[in-house]
């Protein structure tokens, strides 16, 4: 590895990490009576990225818990009714899994997420991306005086595209790079039963030295060493002006 490339990996760069929960579907047939009542309340999602403790993206901080707004609608897709026609019967059998979900649609999905802006060495960022997946813990709010009940956990592997983006941003200081991931993944309980699915959007923007360079240019301080040389080379008459 060239010395210049090695230095780029050890210098701190600026990153913007964003996570958005777009939608949650819960399997109604796996919930008992009290749990079915529980999901009528807003569902809470906790985002955990274990190796990001130093930038406080973890389950301990309340501000990182996502409280989805009141749902626009709660659709309980029950099994085929007795009065349905043969044509409807064929249509419904094409999507048997959809009949088992309770959909929680957010009115303002952009509020169901968080973003974090932080500096980090690219070499450290690469190590963290390689080490762990991103986890979503899904809770149902039973009531004010009752504890929240965990419905399940979802895991998203964000490594491949994000690692490539960090690598590219480390080799250039001209432009920022962005990696996006929009995915739907299953929610599993402690018994590994699939209790639902969650749709998420994740983005990592790698600014490298781009933002810092822009600030330096605005401040007229592109290179302190060059500025010192200019001051030393000034004539006495130039210094008096």
The domain spanning residue 42 has which CATH number?
A: 2.60.40.150
Alpha carbon 140 to its chain's center: 20
- Give the number of other CB atoms < 10 A from CB of residue 239: 8
Task: Quote the pLDDT of residue 105.
Answer: 45
Has residue 236 been placed in a domain?
no
How far is the CA of 129 from the CAs of 50, 157, 167, 188, in angstroms?
Answer: 10, 9, 12, 23
Has residue 69 been placed in a domain?
yes
Task: Quote the pLDDT of residue 115.
Answer: 81
Has residue 222 been placed in a domain?
no
Task: Quote the pLDDT of residue 43.
Answer: 74
Question: Number of folded domains in the chain?
Answer: 1
Has residue 124 been placed in a domain?
yes
Has residue 219 been placed in a domain?
no
Residues contacting residue 49 through CB under 8 Å, at least 6 positions apart: 57, 58, 132, 134, 135
Are 112 and 174 a contacting pair, CB within 8 Å? Answer: no
Residue 204 structural domain: 3-208
Residues contacting residue 109 through CB under 8 Å, at least 6 positions apart: 20, 21, 22, 23
Task: Quote the pLDDT of residue 191.
Answer: 85
Distance (Å, whole) CA 178 – CA 183 = 16
Residues contacting residue 96 through CB under 8 Å, at least 6 positions apart: none
Instruction: Say what the pTM is.
Output: 0.64
Distance (Å, whole) CA 6 – CA 120 = 15
29: which DSSP letter? G
Distance (Å, whole) CA 155 – CA 202 = 13
Has residue 185 been placed in a domain?
yes
Per DSSP, the residues of 140-173 read E--BTTB--EEEEEEEE--HHHHHHHHHHHHH-S
Task: Quote the pLDDT of residue 153.
Answer: 92
Has residue 231 been placed in a domain?
no
Per DSSP, the chain holds a count of helices (H) and strands (E) of: 8, 10
Distance (Å, whole) CA 90 – CA 8 = 59
Has residue 198 been placed in a domain?
yes
How far is the CA of 26 from the CAs of 6, 87, 95, in angstroms?
Answer: 47, 27, 15
Task: Quote the pLDDT of residue 138.
Answer: 84
What H or E segment, with its residue span, contains residue 128?
helix 122-131
Task: Quote the pLDDT of residue 23.
Answer: 83
Mean pLDDT by 10 residues, the chain (241 residues): 55 86 78 57 76 52 50 36 43 44 44 77 89 84 66 88 86 79 91 87 84 70 53 54 41
Task: Quote the pLDDT of residue 7.
Answer: 56
Distance from the first to the final alpha carbon of the chain: 48
């Amino acid at each position: 590895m060239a010395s210049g490339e090695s230095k780029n990996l050890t210098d701190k760069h600026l990153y913007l990490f964003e996570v958005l929960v777009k939608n949650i579907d819960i399997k109604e047939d796996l919930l008992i009576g009290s749990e079915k009542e529980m999901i009528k309340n807003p569902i809470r999602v906790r985002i955990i990225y274990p190796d990001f403790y130093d930038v406080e993206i973890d389950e301990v901080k309340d501000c990182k818990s996502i409280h989805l707004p009141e749902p626009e609608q709660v659709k309980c897709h029950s099994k085929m009714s007795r009065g349905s026609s043969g044509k409807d019967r064929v249509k419904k059998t094409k999507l048997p899994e959809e009949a088992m979900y309770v959909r929680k649609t957010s009115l303002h999905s952009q509020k169901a997420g968080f973003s974090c802006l932080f500096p980090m060495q690219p070499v450290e960022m690469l190590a963290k991306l390689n080490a762990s997946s991103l986890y979503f813990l899904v809770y149902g709010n039973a009531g004010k005086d009752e504890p929240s009940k965990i419905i399940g956990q979802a895991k998203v592997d964000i490594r491949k595209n994000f690692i490539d983006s960090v690598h590219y941003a480390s080799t250039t200081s001209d432009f920022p790079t962005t990696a996006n991931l929009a995915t739907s993944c299953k929610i599993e309980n402690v018994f590994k039963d699939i209790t639902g699915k969650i749709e998420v959007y994740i983005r990592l923007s790698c600014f490298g030295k781009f933002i810092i360079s822009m600030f330096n240019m605005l401040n007229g301080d592109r290179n302190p060493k060059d500025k010192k040389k200019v001051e030393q080379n000034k004539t006495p008459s130039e210094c008096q002006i």
